[in-house]
Amino acid sequence: MYLLYLDDAGSVTSSREDHFILSGICLFERQIHFLNSELDKLAAQIYPENPRALEFHGSHMLPGKGFWRSLPKEERRKWLRNALATARRLRGTWALFGVVVEKAAVSPEDPIEYAFEQLCSRFDRFLKRLYRQGNKQRGLMILDKSTRETRLQSMAVEFKDVGHRWGVMHSIADVPMFVDSAATRCIQFADLLSYALWRKFERGDDEFFNVVDDAFDQEGGIVHGLLHRKAADSYCDCPYCVTRGARLL
Ligand SMILES: [Zn+2]
């Protein structure tokens, strides 16, 4: 079984933000323990007194909320990069998935629905590719239950219907599950990835994205695991735009 841990970033309703992001990490069942323990080890370096109490959340780490306020900004940036880099120590097949939607590009469509559908179909394509290679695994999506966009929760409830409509139900084992981010560091990793994408696309800061920019699902030099849906004819250096030669929309 492959599990895709997901979290979102960016506000759909705020007119001050242009992007909505849904992204995460796809792990084979045996890799879950490894990523959790790598992030546990990092937490023990950062906060040896009580590593279990330390959660990795991008929007806490970079601005310096809670515990993170006690650390200098450069150190917080370093820990955020190091936390993302833990995935690089995974062995075997794993991949990142992310959908970056410029809200104006899909209006009046719901950007959450658009992102969720795209993510499901990209995850499904990954599983079907493995199937063709003789690796018959099914997939399951796991989301942070405290996601700000509650629309994601209702979409998960409707998933059986919409999943059939999108044709992805054969490879996905069940409706998406919701877990507490405190309970699994894999969801915290998805939070960090969504934050890294938000920093790049919303704020033009690619320091964190660059740590993992080549880890999105790809085949034959084409990136399938990342989608950048943009509104304007603007140059973009992200792996999705570059590998499609779609510098101009
Ligand atoms: Zn792009």
Hunting for tokens 């209702």 — which residue is that?
154
Token pair for 71: 């650390």
What percentage of the chain exceeds 90 in pLDDT?
Answer: 73
What is the spatial distance between Cα 191 and Cα 178, in angstroms, rounded to a whole number? 14
The answer, yes or no, to whether residue 49 has pLDDT greater than 90, is yes
Q: Judging by beta carbons within 10 Å of its beta carbon (0-12, 13-18, 19+), is residue 188 exposed, middle or buried? A: buried
- The listed range with the strongest mean pLDDT (34-38, 163-167, 227-231) is 34-38
Centre of ligand 1 to C-alpha 59, Å, is: 22
Centre of ligand 1 to C-alpha 239, Å, is: 7
Q: Which pLDDT score, from 0 to 100, does residue 157 have?
A: 76
Q: pLDDT confidence of 11, banded at 50, 70, 90? A: confident
pLDDT tens sequence across 175-225 = 889 999 989 999 999 999 999 999 999 999 999 999 999 999 999 889 999
For the chain, what is the largest distance between any 2 Cα atoms, rounded to a whole number of angstroms? 51
Helix (H) / strand (E) containing 84: helix 73-85
The answer, yes or no, to whether residue 30 has pLDDT greater than 70, is yes
Centre of ligand 1 to C-alpha 236, Å, is: 5
Centre of ligand 1 to C-alpha 51, Å, is: 36
Q: Which pLDDT score, from 0 to 100, does residue 247 have?
A: 46
The answer, yes or no, to whether residue 45 has pLDDT greater than 90, is yes
pLDDT tens sequence across 163-177 = 767 776 778 888 889
Centre of ligand 1 to C-alpha 119, Å, is: 16
Centre of ligand 1 to C-alpha 112, Å, is: 18
Task: Output the average pLDDT for the chain.
Answer: 91
Centre of ligand 1 to C-alpha 147, Å, is: 25
pTM of the model: 0.94
Higher pLDDT residue, 162 or 60? 60
Structure-derived torsion over alpha carbons of residues 223, 11, 165, 94, reported in degrees to the nearest 10: 40
The answer, yes or no, to whether residue 9 has pLDDT greater than 90, is yes
Centre of ligand 1 to C-alpha 104, Å, is: 15
Centre of ligand 1 to C-alpha 15, Å, is: 21
Q: Which of 196, 225, 220 is nearest to 96 (CA)?
A: 225
Centre of ligand 1 to C-alpha 179, Å, is: 30
Q: Which pLDDT score, from 0 to 100, does residue 243 have?
A: 86
CA atoms within 13 A on the CB side of 239: 23
Centre of ligand 1 to C-alpha 100, Å, is: 9
Fold of 2-243: Nucleotidyltransferase; domain 5 (3.30.420)
Centre of ligand 1 to C-alpha 228, Å, is: 5
What percentage of the chain exceeds 70 in pLDDT?
Answer: 96
Higher pLDDT residue, 170 or 21? 21
* Domain range annotation of the chain: 2-243
What is the spatial distance between Cα 133 and Cα 243, in angstroms, rounded to a whole number? 23
